[in-house]
């Protein structure tokens, strides 16, 4: 039996199982007719035209697992733009999934407050040998013992083939088939919650990938008004944009409501072009707040933003978009230049340790100054924004994988410097994030890889990658992103954490994360009680962190020489809590356990010390 629905669109586009029936909602404003084609029997179910360009239907002929496509004006059938499953890839039929069928066991789960997050970014395909959600689940005990309480999963929206970073997805509602699909992701989230781990999902709302992108066949999902570095901009403020906004807002709500995801990380939101009176992000924030009232659970919105604009993270009451937190690449850039990394491309804007101190003090390095790389004054001041509104790291998928050869810090910096960089991140008054394998100094590179099935597009990507790094020919050839070898060579080596220096680094990270959680001065992200001072000549930095009951001093030496630094003058002695140069960490020599206020400390090369005064 089928019947038309002449009512407002169902809250989620696509096909939704509702009891014994399926509700179909399709936006195709230019079509004169629309129908569902069942792939197994060839049945064609006409859709009824509704308001605002939508087509709808309620039917009992679409069941869990049914394969289907949409037909517009009796033309070739196309996959559903809001498909929940693409079992045969981006060009194949869509499949019906009942998201309500999963039996959750996380009713008592409490999403940690954002300031407590210790984040671990991972890529599903290369995190484990299996390259699936089940492969992640098998390693959760490792993450728990490390001290991680939030994993950030790189995008899982369906992309061409089986190998991709995820930013070429073309079905934002469909979970990658080669990763285990929607049910596999639900199972992973449930397992994470059982282990005390929150799940952050990376999503892409600034563009869609090129292969398998059928959106133009359905309606004006894109606009010619703007462009992005990756192609046409999505239509968030032009004619027909109401339905496009609806499509992506419901996608946000789906992840929180139907997958129990705890937070979303939205990719490059500076490329979301929207001059509407209410920006898309502000509208998303309002709808997420409504959902939180219904679920009685917090749902966080994290953004990657290249603008140093506090409008993105300020609350709506202050004219902001209300995002809960953002990545700040500038901390990474300043840290890596301080550590001796190259000063090319966007790194050329950073002066090393003076800029690292500014990042600790001000969050944004550029908050109104002239930027030579951008050739303009850039940024705004983040005076009243709290520590949990910023996420810092020494490496991530971009900073590693966008290098020509995909080298990790383990290949670019000494063992001692890697420990110091970890200390710089984990003592910051911001949320720390690790990139998978960093905790044991993973030796395998993380390279750029794709598996396009369109030969012309595959070759274009291959040649584009070569052209991008033509000036680096002395370092060798850019790895072919299309080969399975490039992908396999990017996988983590899970035998390493039990071996030699790799085990030592893992223990080092575990103890440092535990200390961050235990010391009130480090755990409480009080930016008003944070002060960093750099000595450019010595290449040293003194970071002061305070809570109501405790002061912590972090002494960092980025130079290759022993340096003398002084602890603040106090009536009580300073007690050492951590020493990266201790022989237990394979360092050259431990510093004094107790030091009187105002006295000096000998700081070993490329090392850091943490002292506290109660």
Q: What local confidence, expressed as pLDDT, does residue 5 receive?
A: 44
The pair of structure tokens assigned to 386 is: 């709290």
Q: In this structure, are residues 14 and 53 in contact, taking their beta carbons and an 8 Å threshold?
A: no
C-alpha–C-alpha distance, residues 490 and 203, integer Å:
22
Neighbouring C-beta atoms of residue 566, cutoff 10 Å:
14
Instruction: Give the model's pLDDT for residue 7.
Output: 46
Task: Look up residue 32 and give its DSSP letter.
Answer: S
Segment (H or E) for 350: none
Q: How many percent of the chain have pLDDT more than 90?
A: 92
- Residue 523 contacts residue 517 (beta carbons within 8 Å): yes
Banded model confidence at residue 472, pLDDT cuts 50, 70, 90: low
Q: Which structural domains are found in the chain, ordered by start?
A: 2-101 (2.60.40.10), 114-288+298-337+388-418+431-511 (3.20.20.80), 514-613 (2.60.40.1180)
> pLDDT digits over 166-208, tens only?
999 999 999 999 999 999 999 999 999 999 999 999 999 999 9
Q: Which residues pair with 566 in a beta bridge?
A: 600
pLDDT computed for residue 10 by the predictor: 53
Degrees, nearest 5: CA angle 231-232-234: 125
- Active-site residue set: 267, 304
What percent of the chain shows pLDDT beyond 70? 98
At residue 605, φ and ψ (nearest 5 deg) are: -60, 140
- pLDDT at site 130: 98
Surface-to-core class of residue 537, CB atoms within 10 Å of its CB (0-12 exposed, 13-18 middle, 19+ buried): exposed
Residue 4, pLDDT score? 45
Tell whether the model's pLDDT for residue 375 goes beyond 60.
Answer: yes
What pTM does this model have? 0.97
pLDDT value at position 11? 72
Contacts of 609 (CB under 8 A, 6+ apart): 554, 555, 576, 578, 579, 580, 581, 591, 601, 603
The pLDDT assigned to 467 comes to 82
Q: Find the largest Cα–Cα distance for the chain.
A: 84
pLDDT average, residue stretch 591-611: 97
pLDDT at 231: 82
pLDDT at 476 > cutoff 80:
no
- Asked whether 356 and 335 are in contact (CB, 8 A), the reply is yes
Reading the block at residue 360, the tokens are: 């600790």
Burial class (CB in 10 A: 0-12, 13-18, 19+), 101: exposed
| pLDDT of residue 471 exceeding 70 | no
Summarize pLDDT for 501-524 with one digit per residue, the tens: 999 999 999 999 999 999 999 999
The whole-number pLDDT of residue 125 equals 98
According to DSSP, residue 137 is labeled H
Question: What is the per-residue pLDDT for 13?
Answer: 97
6 pLDDT tier (thresholds 50, 70, 90): very low
Beta strands in 285-417 (DSSP E): 300-304, 325-327, 370-371, 376-377, 390-392
Q: Would you state the pLDDT for residue 270?
A: 96
Instruction: For residue range 347-356, list pLDDT tens digits in order.
Output: 999 999 999 9
What's the average model confidence in pLDDT over 545-570? 96
Query: Region 221-227: what's the mean pLDDT?
Result: 95
DSSP string spanning 204-257? --S---STT--HHHHS--EEEEEEETTEEEE-SSSTTHHHHHHHHHHHHHHHHH
- As a whole number, the mean pLDDT across the chain is 95
Token representation of residue 299: 């749902």
């Amino acid at each position: 039996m089928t019947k038309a629905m002449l009512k407002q669109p169902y809250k989620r586009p696509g096909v939704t199982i509702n009891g014994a029936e399926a509700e179909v909602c399709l936006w195709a404003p230019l079509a004169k007719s629309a129908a569902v084609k069942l792939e197994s029997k060839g049945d064609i179910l006409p859709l009824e035209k509704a308001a605002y360009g939508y087509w709808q239907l309620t039917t009992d002929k679409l069941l869990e697992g049914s394969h289907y496509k949409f037909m517009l004006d009796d033309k070739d059938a196309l996959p559903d733009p809001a498909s929940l499953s693409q079992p045969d890839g981006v060009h194949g039929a869509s499949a019906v999934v009942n998201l309500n069928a999963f039996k959750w066991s996380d009713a008592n789960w409490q999403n940690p407050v954002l300031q407590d997050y210790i984040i671990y970014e991972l890529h599903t395909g290369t995190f484990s040998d299996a390259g699936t959600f089940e492969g992640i689940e098998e390693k959760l005990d490792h993450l728990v013992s490390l001290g991680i309480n939030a994993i950030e999963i790189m995008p899982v929206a369906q992309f061409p083939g089986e190998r991709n970073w995820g930013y070429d997805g073309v079905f934002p509602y469909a979970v990658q088939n080669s990763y285990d699909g929607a049910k596999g992701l639900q199972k992973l989230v449930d397992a994470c919650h059982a282990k005390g781990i929150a799940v952050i999902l990376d999503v892409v709302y600034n563009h869609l990938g090129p292969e398998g992108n059928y959106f133009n066949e359905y309606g004006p999902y894109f606009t010619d008004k703007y462009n992005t570095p990756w192609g046409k901009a999505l239509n968030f403020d032009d004619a027909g944009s109401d339905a496009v906004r609806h499509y992506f807002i419901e996608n946000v709500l789906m992840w929180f409501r139907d997958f129990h995801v705890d937070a979303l990380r939205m990719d490059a939101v500076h490329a979301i072009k929207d001059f509407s009176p209410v920006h898309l992000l502000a509208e998303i924030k309002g709808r997420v707040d409504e959902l939180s009232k219904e679920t009685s659970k917090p749902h966080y919105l994290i953004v990657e933003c290249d603008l140093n604009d506090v409008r993105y993270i300020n609350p709506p009451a202050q004219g902001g978009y209300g995002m809960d937190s953002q990545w700040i690449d500038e901390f990474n850039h300043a840290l890596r230049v301080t550590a001796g990394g190259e000063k090319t491309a966007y790194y050329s804007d950073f002066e090393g340790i003076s800029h690292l101190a500014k990042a600790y003090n001000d969050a944004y390095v550029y908050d109104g100054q002239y930027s030579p790389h951008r050739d303009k004054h850039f940024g705004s001041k983040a005076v009243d924004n709290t520590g949990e509104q910023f996420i810092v790291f020494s490496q991530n998928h971009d900073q590693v994988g966008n290098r020509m050869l995909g080298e990790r810090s383990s290949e670019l910096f000494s063992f001692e410097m890697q420990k110091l960089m970890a200390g710089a991140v984990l003592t910051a008054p911001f949320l720390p994030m690790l990139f998978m394998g960093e905790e044991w100094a993973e030796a395998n590179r993380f390279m750029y890889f794709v598996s396009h099935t369109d030969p012309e597009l595959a070759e274009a990507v291959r040649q584009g990658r070569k052209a991008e790094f033509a000036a680096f020919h002395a370092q060798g050839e850019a790895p072919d992103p299309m080969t399975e070898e490039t992908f396999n060579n990017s996988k983590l080596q899970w035998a390493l954490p039990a071996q030699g220096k790799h085990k030592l680094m893992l223990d080092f990270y575990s103890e440092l994360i535990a200390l961050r959680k235990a010391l009130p001065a480090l755990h409480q992200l009080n930016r008003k009680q944070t002060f960093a001072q750099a000595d450019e000549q010595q290449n040293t930095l003194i970071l002061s962190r305070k809570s109501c009951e405790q002061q912590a001093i972090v002494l960092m030496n980025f130079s290759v020489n022993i340096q003398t630094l002084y602890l603040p003058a106090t009536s009580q002695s300073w007690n050492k809590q951590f020493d990266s140069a201790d022989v237990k960490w394979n360092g050259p020599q431990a510093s004094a356990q107790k030091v009187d206020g105002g006295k000096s400390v000998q700081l070993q090369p490329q090392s850091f010390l943490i002292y506290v005064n109660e």
